[in-house]
Structure 1
Amino acid sequence: MRVFALVFLILIFSLPVQAEELKIARVEVRGEINEGTYLTLQHAYDFAQKEKCNAIFVVLDTPGGVLSSTQKIVQLFMNSEIPVIVFVPRGGMCASAGSIILLSAHIAVMANGTAVGAATPVNIGFGSPTVEKKTVNYIAGYVKDIASARGRNPEVAEKFVTQALTLTAGEALKEHIIDYLADNEVEAIEKLNGKSVIVNGREITFNFDSYRVLNVNKPIQASIYEAISSPQLSAILLILGIYLLIFGLTSPGLVPETVGAICLILALAGLGVVNINQIGALLVVLGVILLIAELVTPTYGVLGAGSVVSIVLGLLVLFNEPLMPESFYDAFPKFVAGIGIGLGGIMTFMIIKVAQIRRKKSSVGEVVGLSGDVLEFSNGRGFARVRGEIWRIESDEELNKGDEIEVIERDGLKLKVRKIERRGRADKRDSKMDEKSGEQD
């Protein structure tokens, strides 16, 4: 009986183990990292859980991006219950914020001809391009901890931040920053076979003889946030929102206020997911106050010009994002200066002119109760001189040239008038006095 049992166990364990099909949720991340990127990856994670996928495969091609969104992505990967594989394809970029995301993956893969690193924080706006040492130290420590948690070289990862170190794919493999090289996605997936990873304290070994890739599309919400969280678009929306709302106050109407409110809401939604410099925000608020002051107490454009300058300076230092692409730090100040001065100057000029016209119209409209002289009149209509200006008049009374009239109502450029009898009676008294003096003579 024991011999039979022993033979049965030997047969059972000697049978080949049937490998399961590997189900992979694939998602692409290209361009700047922002809130839309995080929402896309969160959507991919939810999709992988729902479809019971064995792994999430992220194709990463980015020059950098928003720090707060990068931190959310890192947190998502570090706490993921599903293994995350990040692959940098041939010709792709993995710099700044992208290098931090790559370090946080369970398995990091790069194609030959790519590079990783250059995550040194940079200051946006005028002045020195360097940032405070405490910011560099914080991000360096943050990156070092991520690398250590994933079993990667923490000293080299730290140099990405402190020394702007950049490694080729081969150098990254040699320095234990990535797990292996692959020239394409197929090779990257096939090389997973037999590899083991630690996912939240439990070891998972990839064992498969076939695999199936499920592509995850970008959700609409992510596309919206991807657009409005862009510093360039947020700056445009903020400028339009401010000026259109003020324009609506000076010239009430449904369209300017509605469009301005929508632009301002979208701008604030975008600004809510990026790091904001308080000094920049105060300068923008000061610019709004100066423009309102120009409308209340006209200074022939002095305060209006100060408003434009204050808003532009505020936008230059408003975005406090140290991990954006290198090209961004050069292009963004020029973009903001051009858009701010151009659009802000035009809108300020229009607002001031409209306010002046409205004040003039208000002044011209104050003719009710004034008196004037009839220039000509027939069939209930004619012309009169009121306050040195010639107006078209209407009256239910019969008027003659030279009659004194009083304005009782205004309808656009037309006045309704009535005859003033005092002047008529005075003329009669003067006529009687002339007759008496003639009789005496």
Structure 2
Amino acid sequence: MNLRSRTIPRWRHALYAMLAVAGAALFGAAGMAQDEAEAPARGAPPLAMVSTITGAIGPATARQVADAVASAEERRADVLILKIDTPGGLVTSTREIISSILESDVPVAGYVAPAGGHAASAGTYIIYATGIAAMAPGTNIGAATPVSIGGMPGLPSPGETPARDTPRDEDSSGAGDGEKPASAPKSNEDAMAAKATNDAVAHIRSLAELHGRNADWAEEAVREGASLSAREAVEQGVVEFIASDMGELLRLMHGREVVTAAGTRVLNTEGAALTEIEPGAMTKLLAILSNPNVAFILMLIGIYGLIFEFSNPGSIGPGVIGAISLLLGLYALNQLPLDYAGLALILLGLALMIAEAFTPSFGVVGLGGVVAFVLGGAMLIDSDQPEFQLSWGTIGGTAAVSVITLVLILGYAWRAQRKPVATGSEEMTGMEVEVLDWANGEGHVWAHSERWRARGPHSLAPGTMARVERLDGLTLILSDAPTVHE
């Protein structure tokens, strides 16, 4: 007993020692494997990711930049380069892009390219938001004056100096020497224009101060629509340098300090590997839907589909297509600067055209609907960018289709519903039939080119005409008719 009790603990100690050795070996092997896996990464060249922005800045562009920033952070890229060539775009989308850039942990560089490209209007704000800004030869930047559809009243045109207050004529005003001239009261439109301009100036100046760029010229670009060539932009401290291609851009950026959301970082871009970030499927779909012409047509298809479904319950197809199209159209319009007065006019126009189809008024109501529809289409998108405005071709074409569709097709469907029933017992009630044979109040009649059993007055005789009162199963119940068959 004593020998056995001393032997068991020794085996346990030996087992524990073996397990400890095995565990240490496993951890050591795992560490070596991790070191081997990280060794190629440490020896790999720096990573520079590129996202190309072309055309007008809109919801799709905002999503593209947000996705690019997320991808660059996920892959721990050394720099994200936004290659920009844009005429400008929507203010809301521009602010979303700037927020994505400023909140990025990865340094973001702005590069106006290719030669002949420009970073106008919204593009200027985006360039000022990036940590490093460069331009290709033959490009330009500026013209960042905020305007609304048709131009914002009260804002000076590019190159035009805002009017200053001038002293009033003493003879006409009666003001004595030393009196301050009174300024004319500003209209609401002028006040709104001044607020928009001052807000834009404060925004771009804050971006300039964040990265140590020329804030005075930025204000000039907003207030007076000033523009600069690539060389002038470098001379005036708007961008850091001119780069003819991506290789030169990476070489010139190397070693510069950049402010990011994670703090100041020194760029390591010498010989960096370039990776292009392609827009995702949702971004491409949003780019299509954010076209106001596409969104407008989808909305109309949705409205027409639902109207046809309500006019012909059970058809299913038009209702399903209409619901999907309407939701897509409304989603797309919600991404754009929508003028709700324009939307209300479009809906009013459609309602008036439907009323014309159901209750003809010799075109008065329908004509009013067309006018409201066209005016609403012209006002629907509140933007100065042609890419985000409804084309007159789309407005005119959809107005014509609406008139034809709603007046002719819906009018025909409505009149068809009001016609007498052409089948079933309801159709036979009241029709006249010819008596073929008759005895004791029953016999047979001829109706719809068929021989029917019938019951009715005893006075009926073969060859006479009778009127159907109702059906009792497959038997016609008759009454006397004044017409006699010759």
Same fold (TM over 0.5): yes
Give me the whole-angstrom Cα distance separating, in 2, the residues matched to 1:364 and 1:307.
35
Does structure 1 retain, via aligned residues, the 8 Å contact 2:48–2:272?
Answer: yes
Pick from 170, 177, 180: which aligns with 2:238? 177
Q: Find the counterpart in structure 2 of residue 397 from structure 1.
A: 453
Does structure 1 retain, via aligned residues, the 8 Å contact 2:250–2:271?
Answer: no
Does structure 2 retain, via aligned residues, the 8 Å contact 1:277–1:317?
Answer: yes
Secondary structure in 1 aligned to 2:467? strand
Q: Find the counterpart in structure 2 of residue 210 from structure 1.
A: 271
Secondary structure in 2 aligned to 1:396? strand
Q: Find the counterpart in structure 2 of residue 412 from structure 1.
A: none
Larger deviation, residues 59-68 vs 104-113: 59-68
Secondary structure in 1 aligned to 2:404? helix
Q: Find the counterpart in structure 1 of residue 133 from structure 2.
A: 108
Q: Find the counterpart in structure 2 of residue 148 from structure 1.
A: 209
Q: TM-score, normalised by structure 1?
A: 0.78
Alignment of 1:116-135 (within 5 A): 116-124=141-149, 132-133=192-193, 134-135=195-196
In structure 1, runs of 5+ residues without a counterpart are 1-17, 384-391, 410-415, 428-441
Note the C-alpha offset of 1:71.
0.9
Pick from 411, 418, 421: which aligns with 1:353? 411
Q: Find the counterpart in structure 2 of residue 320 from structure 1.
A: 382
Give me the whole-angstrom Cα distance separating, in 2, the residues matched to 1:53 and 1:213.
10
Pick from 279, 286, 289: which aligns with 1:228? 289
Does structure 2 retain, via aligned residues, the 8 Å contact 1:312–1:336?
Answer: no
Q: Find the counterpart in structure 2 of residue 244 from structure 1.
A: 305
Give me the whole-angstrom Cα distance separating, in 1, the residues matched to 2:342 and 2:378.
7
Q: Find the counterpart in structure 1 of residue 397 from structure 2.
A: 339
Does structure 1 retain, via aligned residues, the 8 Å contact 2:357–2:407?
Answer: no
Does structure 2 retain, via aligned residues, the 8 Å contact 1:308–1:340?
Answer: no
Does structure 2 retain, via aligned residues, the 8 Å contact 1:143–1:157?
Answer: yes
Alignment of 1:156-305 (within 5 A): 156-200=217-261, 202-207=263-268, 209-252=270-313, 253-294=315-356, 297-305=359-367
Note the C-alpha offset of 1:114.
0.9
Does structure 1 retain, via aligned residues, the 8 Å contact 2:381–2:390?
Answer: no
Note the C-alpha offset of 1:296.
5.2
Give me the whole-angstrom Cα distance separating, in 1, the residues matched to 2:463 and 2:260.
100
Secondary structure in 1 aligned to 2:259? strand
Alignment of 1:22-101 (within 5 A): 22-89=46-113, 90-101=115-126
Give me the whole-angstrom Cα distance separating, in 2, the residues matched to 1:26 and 1:342.
45
Q: Find the counterpart in structure 2 of residue 9 from structure 1.
A: none
In structure 2, runs of 5+ residues without a counterpart are 1-41, 156-188, 438-443, 455-460
Does structure 1 retain, via aligned residues, the 8 Å contact 2:46–2:272?
Answer: yes
Give me the whole-angstrom Cα distance separating, in 2, the residues matched to 1:226 and 1:197.
31
Note the C-alpha offset of 1:82.
1.0
Higher relative contact order (CA 8 A, sep 6+): 1
Note the C-alpha offset of 1:67.
1.8
Amino acid at match of 1:261: A
Give me the whole-angstrom Cα distance separating, in 1, the residues matched to 2:340 and 2:149.
14
Does structure 2 retain, via aligned residues, the 8 Å contact 1:368–1:408?
Answer: no
Q: TM-score, normalised by structure 2?
A: 0.71
Note the C-alpha offset of 1:237.
1.6
Q: What root-mean-square deviation, in Å, do the aligned CA atoms of Structure 1 and Structure 2 show?
A: 3.4
Give me the whole-angstrom Cα distance separating, in 2, the residues matched to 1:156 and 1:114.
17
Does structure 1 retain, via aligned residues, the 8 Å contact 2:47–2:269?
Answer: no
Percentage identity across paired residues of the two chains: 26
Does structure 2 retain, via aligned residues, the 8 Å contact 1:30–1:60?
Answer: yes
Secondary structure in 1 aligned to 2:53? strand
Does structure 1 retain, via aligned residues, the 8 Å contact 2:82–2:110?
Answer: yes
Note the C-alpha offset of 1:74.
0.5
CA separation of 1:359 and 1:195: change in aligned 2, threshold 3 A: same
Give me the whole-angstrom Cα distance separating, in 1, the residues matched to 2:478 and 2:465.
8
Does structure 2 retain, via aligned residues, the 8 Å contact 1:125–1:317?
Answer: no
Does structure 2 retain, via aligned residues, the 8 Å contact 1:139–1:161?
Answer: yes
